[in-house]
Structure 1
Amino acid sequence: MNVRAETRPELTIRRRFDAARELVFRCWTEPDRLNRWCCPKGFTLPFSEGDIRPGGWFKTCMRDPDGTDHWLAGTYREIVPPERIVFSHRWLDDKGMPEHETVVTITLKDDDGGTMLTLHQAFFLSYASRDGHRVGWEETLDNLAEYLVQ
């Protein structure tokens, strides 16, 4: 009998930025920069704190345009300047309890005077969850692109 391997949805997004890799890295690792762009379009960050280092943590509240708060938290597993950032990502339920964990890996490579960013997030419980995160991350990366030209 053949056993079919379980398919677990994952997400990969590649985006080129017209900015030096070191600057893009700092946008992900310096709280004053990170908190100015890191949420989807129309969302705000009324609360965000953390300790950005290997073994460090974060907890953030993203408020959607309707005023609903979405809390998430995670830990930083790896930070390699200016190449790679790996962190866990968990939404928190209404009681503040963590839900399913995914792992986000941000990889930065020099690209002809700019930076090629690859975002990988795995593994999701459903394709719908993956697709929803794709929309959120795409909008968030749009915000990063706008922030980088300010």
Structure 2
Amino acid sequence: MMAKTKIEANASAGRVLTITRLFNAPPALVFDAFSDPKRMLQWLGPRDYPASYVENDLRIGGKWRACLDSKASGEKLWHGGVYREIVPAERLAFTFAWDQADGRPGLQTIVSIDFEGKNGKTLMTFQQSEFDTPETCDGHRMGWNGAFDRLEELLAQD
């Protein structure tokens, strides 16, 4: 039994993304940046693929959708999902899937984001899982970290 558990745990190795960031803003402001489409347009996506479209229906079972546009090639990357958990200023959880060429959703992952207040700042713990390959996970790590760099700059302006 113990060996089976260990094998199952190793099967997920490299396919779960966890990012922790400390933002210089209170949890309510950081949560707002993740839930207000106007704010999301200002930071979602890395610098070379900024968001050009964001919509969301912020309620359990509500859908969200966004498009990232390549500055170099004009490629459009559509993606979306469904909200599963919403606790204002504390937690968000939703599904995430890139659109495939035929417009249908591809591999679905689950994103959970915890916002913890720390002396007027926010410790954000972001987790996305489970990816099909470690390479896909690494690609998302680069993309999300690029977006979070932009979010940090946005929050510094508030």
Counterpart CA distance in 1 for 2:82 and 2:125 is 19
Q: Deviations over 1:92-145 (max 9, x none)?
A: 011111110000001000112211000000100000000000000100100100
Query: Does residue 1:145 correspond to 2:152, yes or no?
Result: yes
Which segments of 5 or more consecutive residues in structure 1 lack a partner in the other structure?
Answer: none
Q: Larger % of helix: which? A: 2
Q: Give the aligned length.
A: 150
Q: CA deviation at 1:42?
A: 2.1
1:44: Cα distance to partner?
A: 2.7
* Structure 2 runs not aligned, ≥5 long: none
- Please state whether the residue corresponding to 1:37 is helix, strand or coil: coil
- Higher mean C-alpha displacement, 73-82 vs 47-56: 47-56
Which residue in the other structure is 2:136 paired with? Answer: 129
- 1:82 and 2:89 correspond: yes
Match of 1:7 among 11, 35, 42: 11
SS at 2:106's partner residue? strand
In structure 2, the partner of 1:59 is 65
- Contact in 1 for aligned 2:40/2:54 (Cα 8 Å): no
Distance 1:83 1:50 in 2: 18
Letter in 1 for 2:144: W
1:96 to 94, 103, 110: 103
| Cα separation, 2, equivalents of 1:108 and 1:44 | 23
TM-score normalised by structure 1 residue count: 0.94
The Cα RMSD (Å) is 1.5
* Structure number with higher strand proportion: 1
Distance 1:94 1:59 in 2: 16
Distance in 2 between the 1:73 and 1:86 partners?
13
CA positional deviation for 1:45? 2.3
- The residue identity in structure 2 corresponding to 1:61 is C
1:16-27 to 2 correspondence within 5 Å?
Answer: 16-27=22-33
2:6 is equivalent to residue 36 of structure 1? no
Deviation at 1:47, TM superposition (A): 2.4
Identity of aligned residues (%): 36
Deviation of the 1:46 alpha carbon: 2.5
